[in-house]
Amino acid sequence: MLVLRKFSLALAFLGLVMVSSVIAAPLPEPKGVTADDTKWLLSDAEVFVKFNIKQMMTADLMTKGGTAQLKEALKKDERLKEILEAADIDLTKDVDSIMASASGASAKDGKALVVIRGTFNQTKVNDAIKKAAEKNEKLKLVTEGTTQLYEVQAQDHSMYAAFANKNTIVMTQSKEATIDTVKNGGKKAATISKAMESALARFTGKESIALAMVVNDDLKGMLGKIPNVGAAVAKIKTMNASITLSDAVALNLAGYTGEAKSAKQIANVLDAFKALGAGMEELPAFVGDILNAVSITSTEEAVKIDLKVTKEMIEKAAKSGGK
């Protein structure tokens, strides 16, 4: 799916640096997506994801060893290390959030907008990328009028990044879209669909990673082909997923069908798969612990999967060495 490929391209660049009321009254402002965030979304967004880097870095799991391990991992990539140092960027301190929205499933109408917020030295970033481009043919500097663009090539596609302001880097699939975002981004809230607005309103703002998706007709068609449960799964209108770091890792997924019957049917199938997995004797002990911790429920409008991986579970997995 092109949307996912677009996100992959956007994340590669980082290596370089929630239904309207009966009377149609407006929905309340999304709780987990700030008023400023809504100014940096695609108006026809079908997929939204936000990485709350600042929240991640203050979580106990990160402050008690995780941040140090991340820094060590970054040091192993000599090219990335060189660029970050030259650009004077500490990914664990200088990047506040990474937000992306996307729409379209084909190469013709697919769009993506990535927004990186933080504290940057624009001159140093520009100089570092310019130097890196001399050694990497998939990275280019392109000037359009007074706008400095950074072209990143991957999987036969290009993405174009630029500074919208000193604290915001934007990236889209075309020069024109990036230049338009530089000029107009951040000025007014995007007119997103009611379905996407409803999905975004389900977030609290405390998530480390938040993802929302509007299930379009193409995806409904694919889901409808799943054996036994396809008809029920195709009733899903929006999906939410989040990961929240604290002294543990909380994973929450939900598919909103708008009615209880299909949600219950999906939950029953998921419960069956969970039981099947838990009954496999050859599974490592820590995997069994994780499966036992999975909670699958259904409500009048959704099927939900919740999992909390504790520090003890993580340590047990590390000690087992995968056995």
pLDDT digits (tens, 9 = 90+) for 88-118: 888 888 999 999 999 986 555 689 999 999 9
pLDDT, residue 313, reads 87
pLDDT(51) > 90: yes
User: What is the DSSP secondary-structure string of 1-28?
Assistant: -HHHHHHHHHHHHHTT-----TT-PPPP
pLDDT(25) > 60: no
Q: What is the pLDDT of residues 184-211, one digit of tens each?
A: 999 999 999 999 999 999 999 889 999 9
pLDDT, residue 30, reads 57
Query: Residue 122 and residue 165: Cα distance in Å, rounded?
Result: 9
Measured CA to CA in angstroms, residue 221 lies from 193, 196, 258 at distances of: 20, 19, 18
Instruction: Please tell me which residue, 215 or 322, carries the higher pLDDT value.
Output: 215
Measured CA to CA in angstroms, residue 206 lies from 195, 215, 310, 314 at distances of: 21, 24, 18, 22
- Work out the average pLDDT over 234-253: 95
R_g of the chain computed on alpha carbons: 21
Query: Cα 161–162–165 angle (5° rounding)?
Result: 140
| % the chain with pLDDT above 70 | 87
pLDDT, residue 323, reads 55
pLDDT, residue 76, reads 78
pLDDT, residue 4, reads 40
At residue 106, the 3 state secondary structure works out as coil
Asked if 116 contacts 169 with a C-beta cutoff of 8 angstroms, the reply is yes
Asked if 32 contacts 202 with a C-beta cutoff of 8 angstroms, the reply is yes
pLDDT(60) > 50: yes
pLDDT(27) > 80: no
pLDDT, residue 26, reads 40
Instruction: Please tell me which residue, 188 or 68, carries the higher pLDDT value.
Output: 188
At residue 207, the 3 state secondary structure works out as coil
Query: Residue 28 and residue 233: Cα distance in Å, rounded?
Result: 28
Confidence tier at 311 by pLDDT (50, 70, 90):
confident
Range name among 148-152, 170-174, 281-285, 298-302 with the lowest pLDDT average: 281-285
| % the chain with pLDDT above 90 | 50
pLDDT, residue 70, reads 82
Sequence letter at residue 35: A
Range name among 4-13, 48-57, 261-270, 290-299 with the lowest pLDDT average: 4-13
- Work out the average pLDDT over 232-237: 94
Q: What letter does residue 38 receive in the DSSP assignment?
A: G
pLDDT, residue 15, reads 42
Asked if 151 contacts 158 with a C-beta cutoff of 8 angstroms, the reply is yes
Q: Which of 93, 163, 75 is nearest to 123 (CA)?
A: 163
Sequence letter at residue 126: N
Confidence tier at 153 by pLDDT (50, 70, 90):
confident
Asked if 263 contacts 303 with a C-beta cutoff of 8 angstroms, the reply is yes
Checking phi first, is residue 65 left (phi over 0); if not, alpha (psi -120 to 50) or beta?
left
Measured CA to CA in angstroms, residue 191 lies from 28, 43, 50, 172, 188 at distances of: 14, 5, 18, 18, 9
- Work out the average pLDDT over 77-81: 72
pLDDT, residue 288, reads 84
Asked if 186 contacts 170 with a C-beta cutoff of 8 angstroms, the reply is no
Query: Residue 40 and residue 51: Cα distance in Å, rounded?
Result: 14
Query: Residue 48 and residue 34: Cα distance in Å, rounded?
Result: 13
pLDDT, residue 67, reads 83
Q: Which of 59, 51, 47, 66 is nearest to 113 (CA)?
A: 47
The side-by-side arrangement of strands in the sheet containing 47-51 is 139-144, 147-154, 157-165, 168-172, 111-118, 95-103, 47-51, 209-214, 238-245, 248-256, 302-310, 295-298
Question: What stretch of H or E contains 261?
Answer: helix 260-278
Q: Which of 195, 189, 194, 315 is nearest to 257 (CA)?
A: 195
Range name among 173-182, 238-247, 281-290, 298-307 with the lowest pLDDT average: 281-290
Computed over every residue of the chain, the mean pLDDT equals: 84
Question: What stretch of H or E contains 46?
Answer: none
pLDDT, residue 244, reads 95
C-alpha dihedral (116, 119, 125, 129), degrees to nearest 10: -30
